[in-house]
Amino acid sequence: MSQLFAGLGSSVHSDTAVAVAAAVAQARTTLHGHTPSVAFVTATVEHDAQQVFAALVAALPGVAVHGITTSLGLLGPSGVINGPDGVVGVLLLAGGKGVRVAVGASAVGADPKAAARKAAQELLAQSGGELPRVVLFNSSPGPEEALLSALAELLPGVPAFGGSAADHAIAGEWSVFTSTGPLKEAVSLVGIFGAVAVGGAIRAPYAPTARQGQVTASTGRTLKELDGRPAGEVLNEWLDGAVSEQLRDGGNILAQTALRPLGIKCQTAAGAHWLTIHPAHIHAPDGSVSLFACAEPGQTLSVMSGSVSGLTAVLGELCTESLERAGLSPEQVRVGILIYCAGCAGAIGAELDTGLREQLARRLGSAPLLGMCTFGEQGYVPGFGNCHQDLSVSLLLIG
Amino acid sequence: MASRIYRIVKYVEDHFSSFAVSRLIMLSGVKVRKYTRDSSDDPQDFAKVWRAVQELAKTHSQLDELTHLINDQ
């Protein structure tokens, strides 16, 4: 029997300290007396991150802290949890005989790779150099590709699943929770070591269309030109004029592109994998486009197509795939982490609540499942490795 | 006259959910919960919120209700 134990609690109380205490108390009840070593916390930005952290360490002295702010609400088999004053969720993790749970974290400055190395080294220092079976990866949005690249050096072959910190308005109000407090720009890792079964999958439920072009100028996550023309002009044509106003005046294009993002085709040993990219903003007058992932010169970008039904059906598909990869029956699952892109959640609205209840509740047992809406998703793709992409959903099950 | 943004948020909260209010924030880019009953609406914020709430409203009757709501004195 698995020696990983988990307990989950949540609260929509308006007072942050009360909400955290209530969530912790609820989580403790399903931990069945095991002492937690890590508290994975998430909250919407209605709650001040410093107050969340302070209440958490008061309730759980000596317990390592990990987590991110979530956009829109907390997700689980009962649906979307949120209140007028936001929501707090706490997942407590404990390892019994032969299982260890540890945390490593670092602020991210000008050198994200150095930050990732620091966080990974902190993790490995607690395990005597033993590699974790899986890493729960969470960071601020922006440097995810560089962070994962560095992690691959120190944690070769270790699958990483997670999501990027988020707020509601894409206003930079997100936080990454670490044992030293909440940070705006940071990476935090939870390593789970020892005798556990792990199964995870990441999917972007979109299909490529015939519309595509080559990146001819870009810098990081700023797409400047497609096929030698201003990227915004080309994108507007691909979207049949849906972002004409933003092309003229500049503006946010998240809603218009949530079901029609861009994708980069990657070949893996198991076939093609599409890295989906969410165009976020068109800048006037130069027509450059801000993205939530990197697109390099020379890469081909294709317009992808998705649907509301696809974005809910993917929940059931992920349950099946993750259970199969872990070799677990639903009753054997000890904990689950669900990462759902905030852009997708915003696009499908109330259907998400229905989808969660219909697709998760009947497929999974009663194991604690912590779900968050994020501004970037990371997951392990067999034959490809750990990747960062947008408009994606991932489910990690551990038993 | 009560803030129109406040009235829209209250309608969305009452008729849909807190999750829907969070979606309204995402779609509009406006921190709508800072508006109280007596707030003065920033015209640009109102325009963004009004555009966004039309994406949330599922039926014509809801849209009609919202239109009456913001036009009532």
* Predicted local distance difference test score (pLDDT) of residue A70: 98
Q: Would the CB atoms of B20 and A350 count as touching at under 8 Å? A: yes
Q: Is B19 on the interface with A (CB under 8 A)?
A: yes
* Predicted local distance difference test score (pLDDT) of residue B72: 77
Å from A70 to nearest chain B CA? 11
Q: Give the C-alpha separation, A253 to A231, whole Å.
A: 13
User: Searching chain A, which residue's CA lies closest to the CA of residue B51?
Assistant: A255
Residues 6+ apart with CB under 8 A from A209: A302, A303, A304, A305
Q: Is B26 on the interface with A (CB under 8 A)?
A: yes
Residues 6+ apart with CB under 8 A from A312: A348, A351, A352, A354, A355, A358, A359
* Predicted local distance difference test score (pLDDT) of residue A169: 87
Q: Which of B16, B22, B31 sits opposite A72 (nearest CB)?
A: B22
Q: Would the CB atoms of B30 and A72 count as touching at under 8 Å? A: no
Q: Chain A partners of B31 at a C-beta cutoff of 8 Å?
A: 168-169, 171
Test mutation, A72, A168, A354, chain B, max B CBs within 10 A: A168
Here the tokens at position A371 are 């779900």
Q: Give the C-alpha separation, A74 to A90, whole Å.
A: 10
User: Searching chain B, which residue's CA lies closest to the CA of residue A71?
Assistant: B22
pLDDT block averages, 10 residues each, chain A of length 399: 94 98 96 94 98 98 98 96 97 96 97 98 95 98 97 97 95 96 98 98 96 97 98 97 94 89 92 94 96 96 96 96 96 97 93 94 90 97 95 97
Which run of H or of E encompasses A224?
A: strand A222-226
Contact assessment for residue A80 and residue A344, using Cβ atoms and an 8 Å cutoff: no
What's the pLDDT tens digit per position in A202-247? 999 999 999 999 999 999 999 999 999 999 999 999 999 999 999 9
For chain B, the average pLDDT equals: 91
Q: Work out the pLDDT band at B50, boundaries 50, 70, 90.
A: very high
* Predicted local distance difference test score (pLDDT) of residue B73: 59
Q: Is B25 on the interface with A (CB under 8 A)?
A: yes
Å from A86 to nearest chain B CA? 8
Q: Chain A partners of B25 at a C-beta cutoff of 8 Å?
A: 168-169
Contact assessment for residue A198 and residue A315, using Cβ atoms and an 8 Å cutoff: no
Q: Which of A84, A169, A255 sits opposite B31 (nearest CB)?
A: A169
Domain definitions of chain B by residue range: 4-71
Å from B3 to nearest chain A CA? 18
Q: Give the C-alpha separation, A383 to A269, whole Å.
A: 5
Q: Would the CB atoms of B22 and A71 count as touching at under 8 Å? A: yes
Q: Could you write out the three-class secondary structure of A229-291?
A: EEHHHHHHHHCCCCCHHHHHHCEECHHHHCCCCEEEEEEECCEEEEEEECEEEECCCCCCEEE
pTM of the model: 0.95
